[in-house]
């Protein structure tokens, strides 16, 4: 399999910081909790709520690093209830410089190019976790560590928001995601090697992973109910 030094460096960077942050976070904060999506829907659409989506999104885009895990849960999960949400939308910028990702080293000019396309891609798809990792890497290479740290904070807390929705070990405790690509992103960021993908009706995906230890899980469950509900609500013609 062809691997990229660029992606590996980005993932090592992300995983290292995520681990250190998790170590500093109390157990109660990270305790998995199945989200009440109807409650979240009500809160993110209520202008009087502290979780009102435009308010949360402004905090996020203004690089507010005081956002809590609870706010990130509402930001991430509440996105499915926004009118511009489309789980299968891909930015035209996300694959424009794909060849750069497969190089061992990058010049400063190449890092500028990576930053430019990643930033534009994230304007189209604000929770593209892959592009975030590219952006962090390029900012580090440019010695723009403050910007890299801000995006590291965003990426780590979005990942925490996902893993806080369950354990992933069975359907009842499946991780809730808002984009199918986040299944693979989460596995990669946790250093798992994906072996297969299965659809498990009525609304689950099951990702099997390579076991390096007998104690390791054989795979993880993802709840894609809200992806399917919102997509077919907006694009009913695709039901056929």
Residue 175 CA to residue 173 CA, distance in Å, equals 7
* pLDDT number for residue 101: 82
Q: Can you state the angle between helices 69-78 and 145-163, rounded to 10 degrees? A: 70
What is the pLDDT averaged over residues 63-84? 96
* pLDDT number for residue 30: 63
Residue 69: name the closest of 182, 161, 6, 171 by CA.
161
Q: In what order do the strands lie in the sheet with 175-176?
A: 175-176, 219-223, 204-209, 194-200
What is the pLDDT averaged over residues 181-205? 95
What is the pLDDT averaged over residues 193-222? 95
Residue 121: name the closest of 142, 107, 135, 140 by CA.
135
Mean of all residue pLDDT scores within the chain: 87
* pLDDT number for residue 18: 43
pLDDT in tens, 112-149: 999 999 999 999 999 999 999 999 999 999 999 999 99
pLDDT in tens, 19-70: 334 433 433 456 799 999 999 999 999 999 999 999 999 999 999 999 999 9
- In this prediction, residue 14 has a pLDDT band, given cuts at 50, 70 and 90, of very low
pLDDT in tens, 86-98: 999 888 888 888 8
Task: Look at 2-11, 54-63, 184-193, 201-210 and tell me which has the smallest mean pLDDT.
Answer: 2-11
Residue 171 CA to residue 222 CA, distance in Å, equals 8
* pLDDT number for residue 3: 35
pLDDT in tens, 226-237: 999 998 988 888
* pLDDT number for residue 213: 85
């Amino acid at each position: 399999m062809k691997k990229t030094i660029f992606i590996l460096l980005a993932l090592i960077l992300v995983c290292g910081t995520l681990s250190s942050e998790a170590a500093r976070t109390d157990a109660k904060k990270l305790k998995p909790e199945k989200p009440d999506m109807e409650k979240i829907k009500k809160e993110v659409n209520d202008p009087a709520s502290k979780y009102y989506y435009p308010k949360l999104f402004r905090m996020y885009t203004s690089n507010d690093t005081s956002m809590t895990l609870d706010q990130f849960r509402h930001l991430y999960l509440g996105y499915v209830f926004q009118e511009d949400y489309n789980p299968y939308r891909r930015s035209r910028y996300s694959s424009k410089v794909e060849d750069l990702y497969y190089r061992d080293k990058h010049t400063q000019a190449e890092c500028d190019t990576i930053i430019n396309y990643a930033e534009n891609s994230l304007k189209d798809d604000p929770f593209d976790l892959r592009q975030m990792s590219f952006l962090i890497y390029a900012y580090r290479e440019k010695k723009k560590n403050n910007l890299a740290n801000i995006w590291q904070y965003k990426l780590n807390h979005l990942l925490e928001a996902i893993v806080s929705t369950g354990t992933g070990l069975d359907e009842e405790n499946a991780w809730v995601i808002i984009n199918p690509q986040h299944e693979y992103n989460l596995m990669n960021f946790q250093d798992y090697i994906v072996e297969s993908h299965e659809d498990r009706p009525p609304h689950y995906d099951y990702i099997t992973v390579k076991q390096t230890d007998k104690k390791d899980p054989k795979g993880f469950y993802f709840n894609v109910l809200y992806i399917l509900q919102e997509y077919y609500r907006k694009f009913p013609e695709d039901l056929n």
